[in-house]
Structure 1
Amino acid sequence: MDKSQKKLPTKPNDGEYPRKVVQCDDGETLEERGRKYAKLITSPELAAYRVIDGVEQNSGVEAQLDVPTLVETLRDQAKAVNDGNLTQAEAMLANQATSLQSLYARLTEKAFSSTQLPHFDSFMRMALRAQNQCRATLETLAALKNPPVVIAKQANVTSGPQQVNNGIAASRAREIENKQIQLSAEGNELRTNTRTPALTGRINQEMETVGKINRTEDKRR
């Protein structure tokens, strides 16, 4: 063994490295133990590990994989996203787009090397699916890097238009604004005043009576 090579670290009672068992604390009571195991079984990082483990079977990578380290790494990546750090997600999408581009190119080569039309058609269909998925992945990456901004007018706000990054919130704001416009229109609607003719007639009658009195006084003079 080369002296420059360092021995892989091991811990007491952990067995040989790499470890192939998912670790979980037992807890002090049976109830606590049950909760911890239930939390582990339903955790997203364990689900991701199960998929990765199934994919990497017989690939040569699985043999060198330390399961507790993988689960902890997946947990750390999820926490980073929750904290707003999307570096891992952006790198993942960029690499997936590159891989899909390679898949598209290879399937296209297979199609044009085919001598039978059914084979050509099958390979080209798969190639175009890979190309379309590559495009969708790049669009997702672009949206992640530059989230769309929706300008919506907030009702009863004097500070002017507000920026809303959520399309649902913008739609809700427009709905509220439309309802308020409808209510305002109903409150300010011109209604027929059925009392106006009666009021006008009364005023005219009073003016006519005053006119008669004035003419009578003029005659006496």
Structure 2
Amino acid sequence: MSKKTLNLQTTGPNDTHAEVMGKLFVDGVLPLALLAEGFAGGYSGAECDLTAMHARMETAADAAASGDLGGLERMLAAQAQALNLMFTELARRASANMGQNLTTTEAYLKLAFRAQAQSRATVEALGEMKNPRAVAFVKQANFAQQQQVNNCTPAPAREIQNPQNELLEDARHEQITLDTRTTRKASRSNPAMEALGAQHRAEDGAGQSKGCGK
């Protein structure tokens, strides 16, 4: 039979009972000790002292915090063995109901496979604890052949362009001046530079001009 009396030790001369209980519950070890005591008290003939269990769990927690994982490794190894025994017993019960009650057989098989999966997960956790996997931090992987990736390089700020202003600027600096005046008639001040008039054009379709001898 379990002893549910917990002997508390004050950490300071002025600590009250409420303050000590608050620290223990926030620390996290005492609630788990109470939970473990509740499950352990169900065993026939088992006697569990709550104060001793709390002290033992505090020792294990302090060892794990300091880097000593030996206690946790032993715990995981024992859990894997216990889960394997659960799988064996559940599978045996499923086999005993095979051919008689299909629903019961299926229920036992589901529970057996769950216990097997938990046992495997516990073994994997133990293996990773003993041999941690190397973690590679990859920022970005480049699988393209023509792709260039510049990590940690800030992109240059793009210059904001205004197409309308550019068009106005080009029109202002490269403006073409058009002569909008009316066309005047050519004067005869320089006949030599005058266009061919009526007296120099051909008289007939033969291409002979006036005043030119044959």
TM-score tier after normalising by the smaller chain length? 0.5 to 0.7
Question: RMSD of the TM alignment (CA)?
Answer: 3.1
Residues 148-197 of structure 1: per-residue CA shift (max 9 Å, x gap): 21234xxxxxxxxxxxxxxxxx6xx669x96514x2xx34x9xxxxxxxx
Quick one: which of 75, 82, 93 aligns to 2:58? Answer: 75
Corresponding residue number in structure 2 for 1:213? none
- Say which SS state the counterpart of residue 151 (structure 1) adopts: coil
Instruction: Give the percent of matched residue pairs that are identical in Structure 1 and Structure 2.
Output: 25
Cα distance change, pair 109–150 in 1 and its aligned pair in 2 (3 A): same
Matched, 1:37 2:21: yes
Alpha-carbon distance, 1:70 to partner: 1.5
Residues 118-157 of structure 1: per-residue CA shift (max 9 Å, x gap): 01100000000001111111111111111121234xxxxx
Q: As a proportion of its length, which structure holds more helix?
A: 1
Map of 1:36-185 to 2, 5 A cutoff?
A: 36-60=20-44, 62-63=46-47, 65-114=48-97, 115-152=100-137, 179-181=151-153, 183=154
Residues 47-87 of structure 1: per-residue CA shift (max 9 Å, x gap): 12211211122414542x23222111110100000000000
Q: When the two structures are aligned, how many residues end up with a matched partner?
A: 151
Cα distance change, pair 59–178 in 1 and its aligned pair in 2 (3 A): farther
Alpha-carbon distance, 1:23 to partner: 1.5
Conservation of the 8 A alpha-carbon contact between 2:83 and 2:116? yes
Alpha-carbon distance, 1:21 to partner: 1.3
Provide the C-alpha distance between the structure 1 equivalents of 2:118 and 2:9, rounded to a whole number of angstroms.
41
Provide the C-alpha distance between the structure 2 equivalents of 1:23 and 1:50, rounded to a whole number of angstroms.
13
- Say which SS state the counterpart of residue 104 (structure 1) adopts: helix
Q: Where in structure 2 are there 5+ consecutive unaligned residues?
A: 142-148, 159-214
The structure that has the greater radius of gyration is 2
Provide the C-alpha distance between the structure 2 equivalents of 1:45 and 1:86, rounded to a whole number of angstroms.
17
Conservation of the 8 A alpha-carbon contact between 1:103 and 1:130? yes
Provide the C-alpha distance between the structure 2 equivalents of 1:61 and 1:52, rounded to a whole number of angstroms.
16
Cα distance change, pair 68–119 in 1 and its aligned pair in 2 (3 A): same
Quick one: which of 24, 30, 38 aligns to 2:8? Answer: 24
Provide the C-alpha distance between the structure 1 equivalents of 2:59 and 2:150, rounded to a whole number of angstroms.
45
Conservation of the 8 A alpha-carbon contact between 2:37 and 2:50? no
Alpha-carbon distance, 1:33 to partner: 4.0
Residues 84-115 of structure 1: per-residue CA shift (max 9 Å, x gap): 00001111111111111111111111001102
Q: Where in structure 1 are there 5+ consecutive unaligned residues?
A: 1-17, 153-169, 190-221
